[in-house]
Structure 1
């Protein structure tokens, strides 16, 4: 089944939307694509659910789907007694239509990217709770509020009779708030950020940044007034024992990629970033090329990065990432 319809994006020009059927990996869908192959919506014909990846074309996509679904499916001709003709060879070469329609959000005109084998569509609607509403350091703030010291413990800490077991949480909270403020400045350049994504009861992702330049996981570390050296897998604070900051940052980015790609039929990468707050400028080993190491103000260097994700792909990834169910272990 295929059809075309003319639709108007909100605040944009008239675009010709094309509707194509797609069946693979157990899915049966109708995709609504722009002329360049970029998907703006798809309809799951098994469940009837509609996923809109570009809200500007919501009404136009509905109109296109209504037009396409009104076209009757062709019926097979009755069997005939004469022998079958030999099969015709399918022509190949430039200009030949593709055997199957492009997957959602094709990265370039004319390129069809099939979904991964474990592909699942993006969750529909605004989740409750919505991770996009998280404030920087929300996870640490909740821990402090739930397990804060009693009045007696605060007195003993003040008198230096007992160590403050939550000092590291307060230090980390301040660091995440500083980094969150810097990431907020990137919004005017088309970037979106989600803070404090809970991955398990004892582990969270400090920040996830999605924008024209790609996807970045940002791990925040705060060590006021101290020196930092970062190697391939380990970091040292004030020449102290090795800490696995770079290795953990890579693992976090790999986990984010595995999680998000289940809902995305277009290729993308996730890049790890380490941000050290209130430290001396970090010294980075020349061999360290997989993890970006910044101080907070250096995050502004991400703003001009472009050409990796389209606006529709950014919206799709952000929609997937803001659902708590996306990050639940499978």
Structure 2
């Protein structure tokens, strides 16, 4: 018996298999996507490979973890309270609902609940792009009480994504106004452009605005809005098909900068 056990875990949307001692301390982990077994102790190499044998597929690289990049080192220095990467889709709405729950009889009439459902649908779709070299940050707080719903960073550039809940309703877009069903028109596109501009200022990089319409709405667009891309929540993955404009190192550096709460304090 090796005295080791294998524990599966998910990290940034990817599965890792951690090899642990009886006291829970990690001695290695297997990264399926990288086909690499990272050893924290060479002395346990034979035992680690024995316990991982049923899980290994194809050829794998075995050795110590790779030296962290400057972006990874910057992330490691972040205090947990300042790291935005763990934010869930709709984090701010979820916190609001936890602090001020909606009575069951009023659940359907609470706009926060419907907006949360939409942000979760869009956020989950964006998170699935992680394995293709993209990163998504959710519910980024901005000074003044506003927030960026989703920030997508990857080879194709940076996208500021605002989610619009419009379940099975007609959505009329006449730049900059957006009307959902019989509700009053709101300057959604103006706000979206302002958020993208603030993100560009914070990150010193071009950030393009995207409106993601959730809920199978019927879109009525008077004219294609200037510099704003409109997608359905079921098609946000199309953003990842944009031509590559950023190198992998640039993507990681921008992600490390964007996940730091302090980056957004002066925008």
Which residue of structure 2 aligns with residue 225 of structure 1? 168
Deviation at 1:171?
A: 0.8
Match of 1:125 among 66, 73, 77: 77
Map 1:168-247 to 2 at 5 A.
Answer: 168-200=111-143, 202-238=145-181, 240-247=183-190
Q: How many residues are aligned here?
A: 200
CA contact (8 A) 2:137 2:259 kept: yes
Match of 1:141 among 94, 98, 116: 94
CA contact (8 A) 2:71 2:256 kept: no
CA contact (8 A) 2:154 2:246 kept: yes
Is the aligned partner of 1:250 residue 2:203? Answer: no
1:303 aligns to what SS in structure 2? Answer: helix
- Distance, in Å, in 1 between the alignment partners of 2:146 and 2:120 is 18
Which residue of structure 1 aligns with residue 252 of structure 2? 315
TM norm structure 2: 0.68
1:197 aligns to what SS in structure 2? Answer: strand
- Distance, in Å, in 1 between the alignment partners of 2:123 and 2:224 is 29
- Distance, in Å, in 1 between the alignment partners of 2:151 and 2:143 is 16
Deviation at 1:306?
A: 3.0
CA contact (8 A) 2:165 2:214 kept: yes
- Distance, in Å, in 2 between the alignment partners of 1:222 and 1:287 is 20
CA contact (8 A) 1:137 1:173 kept: yes
Match of 1:300 among 237, 255, 264: 237
Deviation at 1:186?
A: 1.2
**Runs of at least 4 residues off by over 4 Å:** 163-166
Map 1:1-330 to 2 at 5 A.
Answer: 53=70, 125-129=77-81, 130-149=83-102, 154=103, 158=105, 167-200=110-143, 202-238=145-181, 240-261=183-204, 268-329=205-266
Deviation at 1:164?
A: 6.6
Question: Which structure dedicates a bigger proportion of its chain to helix?
Answer: 2
Instruction: Give the structure with higher Rg (CA).
Output: 1
CA-to-aligned-CA distance 1:176-230 (integer Å, 9 cap, x gap): 1000111012112211000111114632111000001100011011122211111
TM norm structure 1: 0.55
